């Protein structure tokens, strides 16, 4: 299928006042958003390391069962990775020389000189953190950078007893976060990339896609024929409303003809300019007896690996200029997504 005349106007070179490609490290605005660094259950007795937008972080719980603290993963003394350390008496302990810090990153003890004043620059560089939806979220922007420009996306089903929660996995992709978001709003790939799980190459035709801008990003609706649901046999149709909370968080609300509803929170986090992770939680209106959580997780693991097998082989640069690719009618979602990324990095749009 080809673009309609109105859609073709979005691909004209003159309608693209921005960079040809998007490189995250070139645009500080991306530091002002919240990203899921890890699942809350990953932070237990000792500190863990994660990387967000090229910044290596250490995440720990000063008190077992208490809130997390997050800081840059380097000791101010001799640059040791603090994620190699441990927690003792509510303090994070450096593995190199045993320096200790409290939950706020203030230096509490230097073993070699326990009574001497602490050096002025010995404290940790702390990072904003919240725990929500079973994940640890971080925002790298300090107060001098304006702090967060948007909140963590809301998922109302988390507080609704009619929905059960199925925590899933953390997957790594050797592609940009933009590629992964675009893939998840692309209905055309399902029949082919996922032909071994739920896609059907014999029925690749798509109905009309609706896509609209929202204060937080964009929302699309699409009905896609699939050959089965996880653990079941028989073709059906997925009616999916996808929300992209820019830059990289997604809520997918799927409804099947028999009334089953399935929500996926896809928290996509840029590790650096060329790789990303996705943390996913599923919410459903059926029961464990209807479909065991282990089967749902195993199925989605296979689906994510199918995406990774292809996405990891794409060129590393994410194209923004429409002229760099060919486009069909089903690409309205990705065209709007690329346009909004362009507006974000050129200062023409911020969520609100």
Of 224, 272, 271, the closest CA to residue 252 belongs to 224
Q: Do 202 and 115 fall within a single domain?
A: no
Residue 11 has pLDDT above 80, yes or no: no
Q: Do 166 and 269 fall within a single domain?
A: yes
Distance, first Cα to last Cα, the chain: 35
Of 44, 50, 84, the closest CA to residue 64 belongs to 44
How do residues 280-307 score in pLDDT, each as one tens digit?
999 999 999 999 999 999 999 999 999 9
Q: Is residue 350 part of a domain?
A: no
Q: Is residue 21 part of a domain?
A: no
CATH of the domain at 285: 3.90.380.10
Q: Do 232 and 290 fall within a single domain?
A: yes
Q: Do 201 and 334 fall within a single domain?
A: yes
Residue 46: domain span:
34-145
Helix axes 332-345, 177-184, angle to 10 degrees: 150
How do residues 167-193 score in pLDDT, each as one tens digit?
999 999 999 999 999 999 999 999 999
Confidence (pTM): 0.92
Helix axes 293-311, 177-184, angle to 10 degrees: 120
Q: Is residue 114 part of a domain?
A: yes
C-alpha 57/C-alpha 82 separation (Å) is: 9
Question: Which residue in the block uniquely carries the two structure tokens 């998007």?
Answer: 22
Query: What's the maximum distance between 2 C-alpha atoms anywhere in the chain?
Result: 76
Q: Do 218 and 71 fall within a single domain?
A: no
pLDDT (average), residues 216-237: 80
Q: Using the Cα atoms of residue 60, residue 62, residue 63 and residue 69 in order, give the sign of their dihedral.
A: negative
Q: Do 215 and 178 fall within a single domain?
A: yes
Q: Do 209 and 330 fall within a single domain?
A: yes
C-alpha 82/C-alpha 70 separation (Å) is: 11
Q: Do 135 and 162 fall within a single domain?
A: no
C-alpha 67/C-alpha 126 separation (Å) is: 14
C-alpha 177/C-alpha 53 separation (Å) is: 10
Residue 13 has pLDDT above 60, yes or no: no
pLDDT (average), residues 104-113: 96
Q: Is residue 316 part of a domain?
A: yes
Q: Which of 145, 175, 205 is the last residue of a domain?
A: 145
Report residue 30 as tokens. Answer: 């991306």
Q: Is residue 151 part of a domain?
A: no
DSSP symbols for 71-86? EESS-TTT---GGGSE
Query: CB–CB of 220/209 below 8 Å?
Result: yes
Q: Do 106 and 127 fall within a single domain?
A: yes
Q: Do 187 and 290 fall within a single domain?
A: yes
Residue 208 has pLDDT above 70, yes or no: yes
pLDDT (average), residues 310-326: 97
Domain count, the chain: 2
Q: Is residue 1 part of a domain?
A: no
Q: Using the Cα atoms of residue 218, residue 224, residue 226 and residue 229 in order, give the sign of their dihedral.
A: positive
Question: Which residue in the block uniquely carries the two structure tokens 């404290």?
Answer: 123
Kind and range of the H or E run holding 301: helix 293-311
CATH of the domain at 67: 2.102.10.10
Q: Which of 145, 175, 202 is the last residue of a domain?
A: 145
Residue 1 has pLDDT above 60, yes or no: no
Q: Is residue 180 part of a domain?
A: yes
Q: Do 139 and 176 fall within a single domain?
A: no
Q: What percent of the chain has pLDDT over 90?
A: 83
Q: Is residue 280 part of a domain?
A: yes
Report residue 141 as tokens. Answer: 């922007």
Q: Which of 90, 114, 145 is the last residue of a domain?
A: 145
Q: Using the Cα atoms of residue 326, residue 328, residue 333 and residue 335 in order, give the sign of their dihedral.
A: positive
Q: How many CA atoms lie within 13 A of 188 on its CB side?
A: 12
Q: Do 76 and 173 fall within a single domain?
A: no
At a CB cut-off of 8 Å and minimum separation 6, what does 129 contact? 37, 59, 67, 68, 69, 70, 136, 137, 138
Q: What is the mean pLDDT of the chain?
A: 92
């Amino acid at each position: 299928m080809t673009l309609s005349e109105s859609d073709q106007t979005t691909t004209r070179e003159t309608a693209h006042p921005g960079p040809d490609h998007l490189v995250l490290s070139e645009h500080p605005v991306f530091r002002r958003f919240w990203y899921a660094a890890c699942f809350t259950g990953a932070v237990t007795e000792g500190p863990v390391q994660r990387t967000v937008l090229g910044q290596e972080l250490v995440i720990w719980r000063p008190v077992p069962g208490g809130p997390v603290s997050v800081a840059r993963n380097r000791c101010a003394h001799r640059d040791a990775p603090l994620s190699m350390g441990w927690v003792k008496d509510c303090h994070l302990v450096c593995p190199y020389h045993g320096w200790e810090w409290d939950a706020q990153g203030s230096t509490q003890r230097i073993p070699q000189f326990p009574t001497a004043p602490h050096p002025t620059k010995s404290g940790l560089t702390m990072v904003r953190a919240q725990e929500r939806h079973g994940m640890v979220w971080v925002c790298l922007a300090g107060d001098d950078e304006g702090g967060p420009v948007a909140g963590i996306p809301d998922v109302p089903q988390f507080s609704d007893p009619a929905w059960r929660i199925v925590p899933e996995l953390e997957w790594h992709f050797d592609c940009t976060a933009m590629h992964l978001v675009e893939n998840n709003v692309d209905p055309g790939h399902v029949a082919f990339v996922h032909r071994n799980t739920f896609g059907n190459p014999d029925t690749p035709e798509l109905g009309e896609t609706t896509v609209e801008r929202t204060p937080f990003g964009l929302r699309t609706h699409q009905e896609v024929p699939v050959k089965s649901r996880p653990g079941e046999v028989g073709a059906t149709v997925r009616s999916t409303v996808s929300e992209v909370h820019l830059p990289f968080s997604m809520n997918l609300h799927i409804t099947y003809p028999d009334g089953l509803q399935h929500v996926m929170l896809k928290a996509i986090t840029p590790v650096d300019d060329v790789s990303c992770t996705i943390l996913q939680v599923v919410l459903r209106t059926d029961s464990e007896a209807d479909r065991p959580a282990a089967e749902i997780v195993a199925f989605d693991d296979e689906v994510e690996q199918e995406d990774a097998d292809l996405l990891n082989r794409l060129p590393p640069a994410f194209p923004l200029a429409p002229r760099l690719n060919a486009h069909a009618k089903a690409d309205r979602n990705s065209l709007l997504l690329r346009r909004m990324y362009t507006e974000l990095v050129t200062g023409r749009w911020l969520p609100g």
